[in-house]
Structures are given as C-alpha cells and as structure tokens.
Amino acid sequence: MSRGDKVHSVTDSIASAEEYARRKRHGQQVLDLNDFTEADIEALERSFPQSESAAFDFEALR
C-alpha cells in the first residue's frame, strides 16, 4: 500500500469482502488505511515483534 510517496506494508493480505462482513458480524473492528494517522504509520514502521513470537512463525506459512 502506498500513502503519498511512501510505501507501507500494513498486512500481507487484504481482507476480502466476505472476511470484512464476518468480522463486522462478530463485532471486530475493521480498519482502513485512512483510519491511521501519519504518526500511527510511523510507529508501526518502527515496531518489531517480541522474540517469543517467533514460536508462531509456522502459522504465517499456511
């Protein structure tokens, strides 16, 4: 995804219309890139997962 002249990778996939509807039904918040401020995006770019999360890397390979 890009915003202005910067490219941002917020997720590896974009939710389909069905996934969006499912999340809405279950009361989960669905955010659009426009819901993030520039400061939010910069904070996300500086963030890294905790080392303990590496134990779940296999889930991303499905």
CA distance 21 to 5: 31
Greater model confidence, 24 or 8: 24
Q: What is the pLDDT of residues 43-54, one digit of tens each?
A: 988 998 889 988
CA distance 38 to 55: 31
SS3 6: strand
The candidate with the shortest Cα–Cα distance to 33, out of 60, 53, 3, is: 3
The model's pTM is 0.39
